[in-house]
């Protein structure tokens, strides 16, 4: 046993504890401190790797907590529990951060060049990775740091190459020119998921295109009724890339123009008027300009009609290749000038504000441009089908279940995944091109020796300059971290993993891709359960973000309130998939709870009978030495074990903390300790009895510390060190065994409920009557014979808790009131279950008004009891209820009716007695009215 400081100071407690865990090597499932049961299957949780260049925010802390609590729980249950930590290189996100830093130095990707840029990135990420890892340790992550992985380490690099090669070999990776979303700021393509549809008010311009006289090849004269056709656009600069004008096939207005040609202004290109179903005749003019290289719909239209696809936007979104003066201008400058020029020519038919959805870059917020690029794609159809099969068959379960519908919808409508990124930071795509255009994909670290098609030597091959979408390497995470593609011991032992915990916001980005790639490459679903956490929001319910300035730094919170409080706060009252607001109140509540636990333990430790060796082995409480309160306490602890087990099995972590908070605070501390105090201080009891009482406290406390450990690991570990252990216990709580649910004693629990109810009732009555709390008042209690022994053992505690002196026990209700002289002003009556008490008031504080107040109180209680009683009776009088409700429910209703009737009866009696002694004439009080 170790001493506990008087005050609970999280900083001191937590710092020392983590070092002890590390020293004991208990985090690794195969570490020297592991106590795993070899007969149980392992439990594997691969951490969603946080961005290496990021900083830990509250969301990370919350996820780490949930992950860690699952791991700790599994570990205590005896499973070899692997919590594999990691970091993500976060391709585009990291580049975005570094680019901004470089910009402040007047540098850029271009000025540095690829090699120096990547060198800077490595230096930068090396400096931030330590911060990220240290933060996780502060939160208490019991991760196996020896297995720490990084999406840019050699193992991941190898996995990425092999995975891609296999996908290519199986026809699931292909290279093609396609319309992709391009971010001019990041200078890369982004996936559909990274496009943020943003509502904006733009402008819809109407532009006249001049028809061409086929005979002369010149524009038809303005006098001709069909001199022009008017099209509408929100992006006039794309006019420069137009290769057709389309109308709906059924549109009578334009039918006669179909097949004619119009001249695209500035580029002076003559393009056909075509028909296509994509056109909505009701929108705008019903005629649509077609820009196949810069619009999704137009691209599809272009493909259907075999239209040319001139690209007019450069990587930086300046105009290019148009042969017009607009070349070299930024897209928006070009737009302005182009509109002005059209207006000057008289070809601007109109402009009006237009509500529209603009695609913006998730990272840089730039407006994205659809454009053609030759990129690598992953064919998703077959993999998505397998992923759906895994969830439909139940091999993988998504929690909360409602997200399975989202999952279904997305995977059934999935499009091929563009994995090429024109970034530098990431895994280079292992594809080489020979001068003849042959493609060679190779998993070799040094690339292929020769072109796979024509045999040209490596020296003549050029590797694809692009890198993979960062989610490609993340998608391999559950198995690449365990050694895949090598057939390692870890992979065999820990794969498939048990639970994947992550935020619901990346279910598509990440979970779906892990699932697809895992099934494709390992033939197994990578995890059996997906636990989706909700998002942490600020106290106003807003998403936390740096730009809003409402981010909470978890380290600040930990410094102030402790990691245990933070962990408890983010778990307490939270439900899977449900966002939660986080504010100071929750945190304070959690810290208070830790403090409560600390002080309760300090009391137990300090209350040790001198006859017990502080350094001795823990003794099981001797049942013969236990009083009803101690047996009740142990029964309740068993009940809590049972309830917590059920909640854990349901992944209802908020329920777990609620159960423990209630059990520890409202049962163990409020009643268990209070009853025990009296008993431990009772010199009349035998030494063995006091010892038994203390061992019972230790037993219950030990159980609660174990149950609470996964959520509040530091404080429980520290406190556990202060209580005696069993010979079978390990040195540290983190590897101690999860408690088993022992027997309950329902009858005893009911008796204690009555006793506790009586104490509460007496306190309540005394408080309402305005009686000095410290005044000792003569109190009588009628106790049915079966409860006699319990009452007698608890008598000293009841005396103390109710300030009753003398406390006299009566065998029947009728006997109440005989033991002391009723005094003017009346006595207080309290009914709790089968117990009934009368508190006699001191003469000097009694007055007629007090009697009236007591009557009012009793009448209020009577009224309430009568309402409940009549409701219960109405139920029993309902034939259909009697006929159709289950027997157990009917029996319960009968019992309730009996109890309520009894209570009403007693309250009436007490009211009569109170009225009678008061002598104010109101002797017949039946509770109908309140004075």
Partner RNA sequence: GGGCGGUUAGCUCAGUCGGUCAGAGCGCCUCGCUUACACCGAGGAUGUCACUGGUUCGAGUCCAGUACCGCCCACCA
Residues of span 535-564 touching RNA by CB under 7 A: 537, 539, 541
Structure tokens at 699: 């037993």
Asked if 930 is part of the footprint of RNA (rule: CB under 7 A), the reply reads: no
Residue 896, interface with RNA (CB under 7 A)?
yes
Nearer to RNA, 428 or 677 (CB): 677
Q: Is 483 left (phi over 0), alpha (psi -120 to 50) or beta?
A: left
Instruction: Provide the token pair at 542.
Output: 């807003």
Q: Of the two residues 150 and 254, which places its CB atom closer to RNA in the complex? A: 254
Would you count residue 280 as binding RNA (CB under 7 A)?
A: yes
**Who's near 312: CB < 8 A, 6+ residues apart?**
237, 238, 240, 241, 293, 294, 319, 320, 321, 322
303 binds RNA (CB under 7 A): no
- The yes or no reply on residue 606 touching RNA (CB under 7 A) is yes
The angle formed by the CA atoms of residues 589, 632 and 605, to the nearest 5 degrees, is: 60
Tell which one of 386, 677, 737, 894 touches RNA (CB under 7 A).
677
Q: How far apart are CA 122 and CA 874, in angstroms?
A: 76
Q: How far is CA 720 from the centre of its chain?
A: 29
| Residues numbered 405-434 forming contacts with RNA, rule: CB under 7 A | 405-406, 409-410, 413
Q: Which residues, 821 to 860, sit near RNA by CB under 7 A? A: none
How far apart CA 192 and CA 187 sit, in angstroms, is: 16
User: Is residue 881 near RNA by the rule CB under 7 A?
Assistant: yes
* Residue with Cβ nearer RNA (143 or 231): 231
Is position 673 an interface residue for RNA (rule: CB under 7 A)?
A: yes
Among 78, 185, 281, 730, binds RNA (CB under 7 A): 281
- Taking CB under 7 A as the rule, does residue 306 contact RNA? no
Please report which helix (H) or strand (E) contains residue 708, including its range: helix 687-708
Question: Are the beta carbons of 542 and 548 closer than 8 angstroms?
Answer: yes
Q: How far is the CB of 868 from RNA (least distance, A)?
A: 7
Number of residues that bind RNA (CB under 7 A): 93
Q: How far is the CB of 756 from RNA (least distance, A)?
A: 9
Contact string (CB under 7 A) for RNA, positions 709-738, x = contact:
------------------------------
Among 105, 684, 880, 929, binds RNA (CB under 7 A): 880
Q: From the CB of 441, what's the least distance to RNA, in Å?
A: 28
Q: Does 296 bind RNA (CB under 7 A)?
A: yes
Q: Nearest 5°: phi and psi at 926?
A: -115, 10
Question: By CB under 7 A, is residue 884 in contact with RNA?
Answer: yes
Would you count residue 764 as binding RNA (CB under 7 A)?
Answer: yes
Find the shortest distance in angstroms from Cβ 405 to RNA. Answer: 5
- Please, which of residues 585-604 interact with RNA by CB under 7 A? 585-586, 588-589, 591-592, 594-596, 599-600, 602-603
**Strands annotated E in 286-379:** 287-290, 348-361, 369-378
Q: Is 891 an interacting residue with respect to RNA (CB under 7 A)?
A: no
Q: What is the DSSP letter of 623?
A: G
**C-alpha distances out from residue 98 to 122, 133, 157, 186, Å:** 11, 20, 22, 12
Element (H, E) at 431: strand 431-433
When the beta carbons of 305 and 658 are compared against RNA, the nearer one is 658
Candidate segments 165-173, 548-556, 695-703, 889-897, binder of RNA by CB under 7 A:
889-897
Residue 189 β-bridge partners: 182
Contact set for RNA, span 249-268 (CB under 7 A) = none
Tokens of 104: 């402040």
- Of 346, 247, 236, 212, whose CA–CA distance to 291 is shortest? 236
Distance of alpha carbon 762 from alpha carbon 860, whole angstroms: 16
Can residue 531 be called a binding residue for RNA (CB under 7 A)? no
Q: In what order do the strands lie in the sheet with 369-378?
A: 188-190, 173-183, 369-378, 417-418
Query: What SS3 state is found at 810?
Result: strand
Q: Which of residues 148-167 bind RNA (CB under 7 A)?
A: none
CA dist., res. 597 & res. 586, Å (int): 17
304 binds RNA (CB under 7 A): no
Q: For the segment 208-237, give every residue that binds RNA (CB under 7 A).
A: 231-235
**Per-residue x/- mask for RNA, residues 355 to 394, rule CB under 7 A?**
-xx-------------------------------------
End-to-end CA distance of the chain: 60
Among 320, 505, 729, 909, which residue interacts with RNA (rule: CB under 7 A)? 505
- Residue 698 CB, shortest distance to RNA, in Å, is 14
Burial class (CB in 10 A: 0-12, 13-18, 19+), 341: middle
Among 227, 314, 544, 575, indicate the residue that binds RNA (CB under 7 A). 575
Does 14 bind RNA (CB under 7 A)? Our answer is: no
Taking the complex as a whole, the smallest distance from the CB of residue 672 to RNA amounts, in Å, to: 9
What does the block give as tokens for 743?
Answer: 């027997």
């Amino acid at each position: 046993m170790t001493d506990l400081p008087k005050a609970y100071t999280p900083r001191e407690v937590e710092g020392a504890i983590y070092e002890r865990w590390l020293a004991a090597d208990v985090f690794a499932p195969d570490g020297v401190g592991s106590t795993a049961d070899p007969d149980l299957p392992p439990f594997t949780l691969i951490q969603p790797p946080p961005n290496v260049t990021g900083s830990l925010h509250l969301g990370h802390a919350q996820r780490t907590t949930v992950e860690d609590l699952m791991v700790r729980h599994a570990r205590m249950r005896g499973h070899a529990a692997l919590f594999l930590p990691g970091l993500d290189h976060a391709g585009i996100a990291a580049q975005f951060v570094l680019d901004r830093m470089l910009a402040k130095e007047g540098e850029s990707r271009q000025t540095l060049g690829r090699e120096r840029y990547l060198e800077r990135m490595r230096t930068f990420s090396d400096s931030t990775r330590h911060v990220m890892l240290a933060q996780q340790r502060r939160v208490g992550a019991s991760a196996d740091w020896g297995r720490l992985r990084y999406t840019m380490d050699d193992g991941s690099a190898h996995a990425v190459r092999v995975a891609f090669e296999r996908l290519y070999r199986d026809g699931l990776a292909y290279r093609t020119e396609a319309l992709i979303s391009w971010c001019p700021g990041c200078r890369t393509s982004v996936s559909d998921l990274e496009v943020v549809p943003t509502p904006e008010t733009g402008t819809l311009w109407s532009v006249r295109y001049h028809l061409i006289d086929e005979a002369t090849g010149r524009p038809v004269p303005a006098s001709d009724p069909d001199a022009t056709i008017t099209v509408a656009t929100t992006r006039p600069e794309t006019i420069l890339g137009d290769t057709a004008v389309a109308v709906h096939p059924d549109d009578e207005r334009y039918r006669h123009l179909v097949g004619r040609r119009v001249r695209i202004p500035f580029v002076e290109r003559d393009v056909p008027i075509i028909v296509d179903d994509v056109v909505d005749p009701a929108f705008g003019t019903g005629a649509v300009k077609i820009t196949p290289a810069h619009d999704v719909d137009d691209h599809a239209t272009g493909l259907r009609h075999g239209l040319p696809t001139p690209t007019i936007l450069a990587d930086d979104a300046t105009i290019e290749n148009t042969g017009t003066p607009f070349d070299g201008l930024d897209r928006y400058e070009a737009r302005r000038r182009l509109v002005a020029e059209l207006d000057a020519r008289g070809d601007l038919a109109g402009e009006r504000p237009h509500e529209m959805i603009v695609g913006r870059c998730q990272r840089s917020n730039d407006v994205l441009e659809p454009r053609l690029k030759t990129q690598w794609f992953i064919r998703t159809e077959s993999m998505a089908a397998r992923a759906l099969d895994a969830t439909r068959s139940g091999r993988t379960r998504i929690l909360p279940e409602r997200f399975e519908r989202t999952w279904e919808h997305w995977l059934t409508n999935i499009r091929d995944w563009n994995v090429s990124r024109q970034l530098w930071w990431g895994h280079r795509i292992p594809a080489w091109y020979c001068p003849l255009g042959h493609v060679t994909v190779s998993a070799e670290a040094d690339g292929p020796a020769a072109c796979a098609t024509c045999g040209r030597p490596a020296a003549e091959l050029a590797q694809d300059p692009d890198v993979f979408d960062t989610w490609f390497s993340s998608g391999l995470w559950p198995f690449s971290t365990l050694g895949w593609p090598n057939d390692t011991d870890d992979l065999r032992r820990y794969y498939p993993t048990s639970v994947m915990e992550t935020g619901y916001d990346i279910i598509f980005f990440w979970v779906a891709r892990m699932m697809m790639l895992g099934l494709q490459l390992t033939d197994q679903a990578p995890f059996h359960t997906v636990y989706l956490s909700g998002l942490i929001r600020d106290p106003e319910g807003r998403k936390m973000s740096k730009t809003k300035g409402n981010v909470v730094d978890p380290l600040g919170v930990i410094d102030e309130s402790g990691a245990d409080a933070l962990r408890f706060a983010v778990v307490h009252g939270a439900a899977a998939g449900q966002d939660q607001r986080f504010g100071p109140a929750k945190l304070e509540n959690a810290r208070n709870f830790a403090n409560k636990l600390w002080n309760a333990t300090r009391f137990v430790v300090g209350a040790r009978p001198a006859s017990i060796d502080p350094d001795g082995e823990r003794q099981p409480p001797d049942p013969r030495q236990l009083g009803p309160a101690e047996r009740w306490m142990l029964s309740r602890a068993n009940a809590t074990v049972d309830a917590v087990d059920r909640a854990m099995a349901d992944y209802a972590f908020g329920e777990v903390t609620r159960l423990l908070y209630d059990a520890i605070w409202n049962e163990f501390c409020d009643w268990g300790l209070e009853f025990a105090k009296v008993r431990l201080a009772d010199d009349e009891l035998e030494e063995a009895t006091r010892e038994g009482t203390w061992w019972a406290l230790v037993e219950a406390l030990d159980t609660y510390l174990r149950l609470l450990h996964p959520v509040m690991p530091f404080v429980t570990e520290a406190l556990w060190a202060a209580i005696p252990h069993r010979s079978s216990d390990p040195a540290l709580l983190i590897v101690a065994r999860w408690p088993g649910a022992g027997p309950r004693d329902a009858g005893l629990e009911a008796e204690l409920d009555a006793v506790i109810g009586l104490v509460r009732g007496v306190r309540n009555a005394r408080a309402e009557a305005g009686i000095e709390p410290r005044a000792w008042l003569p109190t009588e209690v009628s106790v049915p014979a079966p409860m006699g022994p319990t009452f007698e053992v608890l008598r000293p505690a009841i005396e103390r808790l109710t300030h009753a002196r003398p406390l006299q026990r009566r065998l029947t209700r009728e006997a109440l009131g005989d033991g002391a002289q009723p005094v003017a002003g009346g006595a207080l009556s309290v009914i709790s279950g089968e117990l009934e008490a009368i508190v006699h008031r001191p003469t000097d504080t009694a007055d007629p008004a007090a009697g009236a107040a007591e009557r009012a109180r009793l009448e209020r209680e009577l009224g309430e009891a009568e309402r409940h009683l009549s409701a219960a009776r109405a139920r029993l009088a309902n034939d259909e209820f009697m006929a159709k409700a289950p027997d157990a429910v009917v029996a319960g209703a009968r019992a309730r009716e009996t109890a309520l009737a009894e209570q009403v009866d007693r309250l009436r009696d007490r009211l009569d007695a109170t009225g009678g002694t008061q002598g104010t004439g109101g002797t017949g009080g039946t509770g109908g009215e309140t004075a």
